[in-house]
Amino acid sequence: MMNEARQALNFAARQLGFSGVGVAPAQADQGNTLATWLAEGKHADMSWMERHLPARLDPQLVLPGVRSIIILTYEYPRADARSAPGCIARYAQGDDYHKLLASKLADLDETLQWYGGTQRCFSDSGPVSERFFAARAGLGWIGRNGLLIRPGKGSYCFLSSILTTLELPADSPMPNRCGNCHRCEQACPTSALHNGCCDARKCISFWTIEAKSPIPQDIQQAQGNRLYGCDTCQEVCPWNRPQEHVYIDPHLLMPATLQSLSPQQLAHMPEADFHTTFSGSPIHRIGVEHLRSNIAKQAASISPQVL
């Protein structure tokens, strides 16, 4: 019965556009990596990670009776679609993936309910160590940039998780294949990466997206042409070589208007236009003032005359 449920899950996931499916046992030991990272303050001011630590380490606190954790991958664009100056992280160039993937996860929930399962579903939105379970489920390994790297597919993907009370056949982990490569650590503009962990206090993505406090001067100087997020550690990864025949959901492609809007136009965009332009985008979450601040800091790090 559980083999049949797994086959149905795999088929439905492919039909919905997911590029990979893996299953890990819910009781898998996560070790002390996350707790140590938090104790060292590398989460910066993301206090919600501390609050959710017990649930992350014990999935039973998220879904009582959970037996399996399903991890799914969904591809996002590998190329920077911007024709105007100023980089926006690939994952944020189209529609908000949380909303896009929520309905697909609901469909998979229905499939598993038919086999008697109770589920909780998340896409980077709940207290689940998705990268850990993705690696445990054999979808790839955690690279030195802290991201899931998949052989032949690289790291440009979203992760979604389904906690289920069904005991589905589990997959086997694969070995780490980063070898002696340290390109991501060497290329990081703020030296935020070390042995598979990212220190958010130094990370440009954190400061341009999550941070609530003013950006430190040294981070601002390293920001370069980045308006929102940073993909440097992915751009230099050998596993992210250009791929042919990778399906990208059209909803995740950058609208033509955003491709050509200059930093000056974005900085002086009226608030009403900001809400219209970014209403369905992850960028909307940071608000117009934070975006303007990012642009001003980006311009200052390159040339005081850009804006």
Catalytic residue, candidates 95, 124, 199, 231: 124
CA dihedral 239, 240, 244, 247 (to 10 degrees): 110
Residue 34 · residue 200 · CB < 8 Å:
no
- C-alpha 131 chain-centroid distance: 9
Q: What are phi and psi of 59, to 5 degrees?
A: -55, -20
- C-alpha 268 chain-centroid distance: 29
Residue type, 221: Q
Residue 221 · residue 63 · CB < 8 Å:
no
Residue type, 87: C
Tokens of 39: 């104790």
Nearest alpha-carbon partner for 90 in 225, 231, 266: 231
Tokens of 181: 């490569």
Task: Specify whether 124 is catalytic.
Answer: yes
Looking up tokens 């850990």 gives 132
Cα–Cα dist 76/209, whole Å: 18
**Which residues are catalytic, by number?**
124
